Amino acid sequence: MTNYALEAQAYWRRWLPHTHANLTDPDSFYQQLGEDIQDRVVTVWDALIEIHLTPDITDHAKRAGLLQLLRREAEHAVMQALVQLPPEADTAQPATEPAAHQARLTDFDSRLAQQQATVRELLDDDRAVSETNDAELTQALQLMPELLAALGTSLDELRALGRAI
């Protein structure tokens, strides 16, 4: 099993014990979950690299540090979305079977694609901040908190304009 699968398994055992106990084939489930996490981490990391790693960062140590930071950000985002589900209440039983997992993957992939498209349009000047609704801006900022600085604005400035982000 991958490290992601082992981490997911440990989290689910601790925080989702009923869900974990109800898995029909836990080894296969966690193996697939680990592979899904790994695929999404690479996708998110690539997107973050595309946005943050600029040619002006020539110092090797700075580039390596930035790459490591971006990798950790990608891992954190994916783990939150796919593994770190809310802890179970005494009677709550979240969906555990592959269909529920696939639904979470589909939802995550959809949100990620929308975030990436919004960020690209904003950075390529295909869309202005004023033309972007608050929900889209909030999602884009989750992927890239530094987006507003790159666009020459800030959260405070947008909030002063009445934006709800």
Q: Determine if residue 38 is left, alpha or beta; phi over 0 gives left, psi from -120 to 50 gives alpha, anything else beta.
A: alpha
DSSP-derived secondary structure letter, 25: S
Q: Which amino acid, residue 157? A: E
Q: What is residue 56's three-state secondary structure?
A: coil
- Annotate 86-155 with three-state secondary structure: CCCCCCCCCCCCHHHHHHHHHHHHHHHHHHHHHHHHHHCCCCCHHHCCHHHHHHHHHHCCCHHHHCCCCH
pTM of the model: 0.59
pLDDT recorded at residue 143: 64
Blockwise average pLDDT, block size 10, the chain, 165 residues: 92 89 93 95 92 82 87 92 85 59 81 82 84 83 66 75 80
Distance between CA atoms of 20 and 129, rounded to whole angstroms? 43
Domain ranges of the chain: 1-91, 97-165
Rounded distance between C-alpha atoms, residue 24 and residue 44, angstroms: 30
Per-residue pLDDT at 148: 66
pLDDT of residue 91: 39
Residue 71, pLDDT score = 92
Q: Which one-letter amino acid corresponds to residue 30?
A: Y
Instruction: Identify the pLDDT of residue 29.
Output: 95
Cα–Cα distance between 17 and 24 in angstroms, integer? 14
Burial of 44 (0-12, 13-18, 19+ CB in 10 A): buried
What per-residue confidence (pLDDT) applies to 66?
86
Q: What is the pLDDT of residue 27?
A: 94
Q: How far, in Å, CA of 94 to CA of 41, rounded?
A: 24
